């Protein structure tokens, strides 16, 4: 497909920046969906609003901090650049950690009024994240800020330098949309609190680890790599290792208890 980049939309004297517009749209849509799901759990609208504000602030601070930590030398020398979020530079995993911390703090503060567990709250959060990612990635696609690795696939993007590259933003958008529909379908079938959030976390970690191999590594636009992997891939790998380690330990513990029961004739 041909290269394109629509950085802004001009409506008379008004300039709408494409990426910012879609991020704003994602926030509005996610809030409405979050509010809808919260009502089903009998959470007051006022509490939902402030919870969303806490989570939003956590996402912004966490995602920006995560990006800054990838380039410590640059930002230590250009400290004022840290606060220029409008110039770009956010990370998903940093935003996720920030959202979880902020959500936990608000949960502890309003635990009695929320009347649901933190895991159930995390499930609601996990339901809407993929849709927000999808909408945000549309903005990334339109401004073409994700340069992919070189490929010869027929749907590759032909960049101005004549090189065919993977459509990274499109991959991430499609993956997020599929994830949203699957989780939305499972929300009424899965009853155990925290399960939807875990499915989201595992799905995102696996898909992000694999899809990041389509990202560019050979230009100045590339994020730093360590031992051949991006930081996002290392974090995804760590999440998967921790998850499966917990599963193995739990099963080992259950097997040990069962053996003791049999040994003692219980």
Angle between helices 195-211 and 231-263 (to 10 degrees): 140
Residue 257 has a pLDDT of 47
Q: Is residue 133 part of a domain?
A: yes
Q: Is residue 145 part of a domain?
A: yes
Other beta carbons less than 10 A from residue 124's beta carbon: 22
Other beta carbons less than 10 A from residue 210's beta carbon: 13
In three-state secondary structure terms, 177 is: helix
Q: What range defines the domain where residue 40 resides?
A: 8-231
Residue 256 has a pLDDT of 47
79 contacts: CB under 8 Å, gap ≥ 6:
none
Contact 170, 151 (CB under 8 A): no
Taken as a whole, the chain contains a residue count of 266
pLDDT tens-place values along the chain, 266 residues long: 888 888 888 788 888 888 888 988 999 999 999 888 888 878 888 888 898 899 989 998 999 898 888 888 888 888 888 887 766 677 889 999 999 999 999 988 887 777 788 888 899 999 999 999 999 999 989 888 888 999 999 999 999 888 999 999 999 999 999 999 999 999 888 888 999 999 999 999 999 999 999 998 766 556 788 888 999 999 999 999 999 898 888 777 655 445 554 555 45
Q: Is residue 192 part of a domain?
A: yes
Count up the domains in the chain and report the number: 1
Q: Is residue 70 part of a domain?
A: yes
Residue 261 has a pLDDT of 47
Residue 92 has a pLDDT of 87
Residue 220 has a pLDDT of 56
Find, among 210, 208, 213, 179, the residue nearest to 196 by Cα. 179
């Amino acid at each position: 497909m041909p290269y394109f980049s629509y950085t802004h939309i001009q409506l008379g004297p008004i300039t709408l920046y494409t990426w910012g517009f879609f991020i704003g749209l994602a926030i509005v849509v996610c809030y409405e969906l979050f509010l809808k799901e919260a009502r089903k759990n009998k959470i007051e609208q006022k509490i939902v609003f402030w919870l969303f504000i806490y989570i939003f602030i956590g996402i912004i601070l966490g995602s920006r901090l995560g990006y800054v930590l990838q380039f410590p030398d640059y930002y230590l020398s250009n400290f004022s650049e840290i606060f220029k979020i409008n110039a770009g530079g956010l990370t998903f995993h940093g935003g996720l950690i920030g959202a979880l911390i902020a959500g936990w703090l608000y949960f502890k503060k309003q635990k009695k009024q929320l009347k649901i567990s933190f895991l159930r709250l995390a499930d609601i959060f996990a339901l809407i994240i993929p849709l927000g990612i999808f909408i945000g990635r549309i903005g990334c696609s339109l401004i073409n800020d994700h340069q992919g690795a070189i490929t010869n696939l027929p749907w590759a993007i032909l960049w101005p330098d004549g090189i065919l590259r993977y459509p990274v933003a499109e991959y991430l958008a499609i993956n997020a949309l599929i994830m949203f529909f699957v989780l939305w379908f499972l929300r009424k079938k899965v009853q155990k609190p925290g399960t939807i959030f875990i499915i989201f976390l595992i799905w995102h970690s696996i898909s992000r680890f694999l899809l990041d191999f389509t990202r560019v590594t050979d230009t100045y636009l590339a994020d730093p790599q360590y031992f051949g992997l991006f930081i996002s891939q290392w974090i995804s790998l760590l999440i998967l290792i921790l998850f499966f380690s917990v599963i193995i330990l739990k099963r080992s513990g259950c097997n040990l208890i069962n053996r003791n029961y049999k040994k003692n004739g219980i």
